[in-house]
Structure 1
Amino acid sequence: MGNDTITEAEIEARNPATVADVFAGESGVLVGGGASIAQRVFVNGIEESLLSVTIDGARQNKSAFHHAGNVLLDPALLKSVDVSAGLAPAD
Structure 2
Amino acid sequence: MEGYVPSQADVAVFEGISGPPPADLCHALHWYNHIKSYEKEKASLPGVKKALGKYGPANVEDTTERGATDSKDDDGIDLFGSEEEEESEEAKS
Please confirm whether the aligned pair reaches a TM-score higher than 0.5, indicating the same fold.
no
TM-score normalized with structure 2 length: 0.22
Structure showing greater Rg: 2
TM-score normalized with structure 1 length: 0.22
The structure richer in strand per residue is: 1
